[in-house]
Amino acid sequence: MEIERSKAQALTPEEVQHLEKLKAVVAAALADGVLSEDEITQIKSIIWADNQVTYEELRTVHETLQSLMGDELPLLDWRRN
């Protein structure tokens, strides 16, 4: 099922660069299959850098997670740093 957004506009070069950075950080964080508290904090800080969460950011995280992990969920590292 394809979902279309009626107000969808082309992304600006800055937005594309932001999403590419987010994707790279998520991919690096998932490299070992474990998300640490620091990695989660870093991902959140990129997403919230402009004080809002966009559909494109959520989609980027989801698609990166899906492409690297498939149906498996990453483990969470609960150890204190």
Number of domains, the chain: 1
On whether residue 79 sits in a domain, the answer given is no
Asked whether residue 51 is domain-assigned, the answer is yes
Rounded CA Rg of the chain = 14
Residue 81 lies in a domain: no
Tokens of 38: 């620091």
Provide the strand spans (E) within the chain.
Answer: 34-35, 75-76
Q: What is the pLDDT of residues 22-79, one digit of tens each?
A: 999 999 999 999 999 999 999 999 999 999 999 999 999 999 999 999 888 888 877 6
What is the rounded CA–CA span in Å between residue 81 and residue 38? Answer: 9
Please name the amino acid found at residue 28. Answer: A
Residue range of the domain that includes 52: 13-71
Question: Model pTM?
Answer: 0.83
Neighbours of 53 (CB within 10 A): 12
Assess if residue 4 is contained within a domain: no
